[in-house]
Amino acid sequence: MTATWFQGSAREFIAASRDGFEHGVNILHFLGGHTADVAGDRATTQTKMSISQRAVVEGIEVDVVCTGRFYDFCLRDDEGWRIARRQPIYEKDRLDPVDPSASLRLDRELLDRFPAGYRHLGYVQTRSGFTVADGLPGLTGEAVHRLYAEGAAWLSGSATPGDPRRTAVSA
């Protein structure tokens, strides 16, 4: 699993998510429409998703919502289909004070560190104490083109589901 705030195995992601929840991190995911390209015992899938996080930023309670897709590299083995790699594609996000009368001032330099697809999500997560990766795939650009090429190679029999370390560079 590669995400803004985490890169590691599914088991590690679950443990980190539980730990975060126990310490007050409030992040929800919504999944929508799904497509799959299947080639024998391999597939790449895309699932519409949104990430919602509530946090206090600059002293103001806010909601950040990021929409995009989960791009999954799947493999069928003796136990059935499983996800070998999950890479979010971050398309756009927004940040809103929970109290609409609140006045929120953001640190422009920090905000501009992140690409447009997860600019506000990265800001909130950084201010919440996470180390947020930069260079993750967005709606357009080199990172998403590389991801699609890795997906095509996976369907053609590549030994690995791409290299998530090339996609995510820690900030």
Confidence class for position 119, pLDDT limits 50, 70, 90: very high
For the residues of the chain, what is the DSSP string, one character each? -B-SS-BS-HHHHHHHHHHHHHTT-EEEEEEEEEEEEEETTEEEEEEEEEEEEEEEETTEEEEEEEEEEEEEEEEEETTEEEEEEEEEEEEEEEEEESSTT------HHHHTTS-GGGHHHHHHHHHTTPPPEES--BSSSHHHHHHHHHHHHHHTT-SSS--HHHH-EE-
pTM of the complete model: 0.85
Q: 140 in a domain, yes or no? A: yes
Q: 52 in a domain, yes or no? A: yes
Q: 145 in a domain, yes or no? A: yes
pLDDT of residue 42: 97
At 18, list the tokens: 């539980």
Q: 166 in a domain, yes or no? A: no
pLDDT of residue 149: 96
Q: 167 in a domain, yes or no? A: no
**Burial environment of residue 118 by CB neighbours within 10 A (0 to 12, 13 to 18, 19 or more):** buried
The total number of structural domains that make up the chain? 1
Q: 169 in a domain, yes or no? A: no
* 58-101 pLDDT, tens digit each: 999 999 999 999 999 999 999 999 999 999 999 999 999 999 99
Q: Which residue segment(s) compose the domain that 136 sits in? A: 10-156
* 137-170 pLDDT, tens digit each: 999 999 999 999 999 999 999 999 987 655 444 3
* Candidate ranges 6-10, 18-22, 34-38, 133-137; pick with highest mean pLDDT: 34-38
* 97-116 pLDDT, tens digit each: 999 999 999 999 999 999 99
pLDDT of residue 168: 47
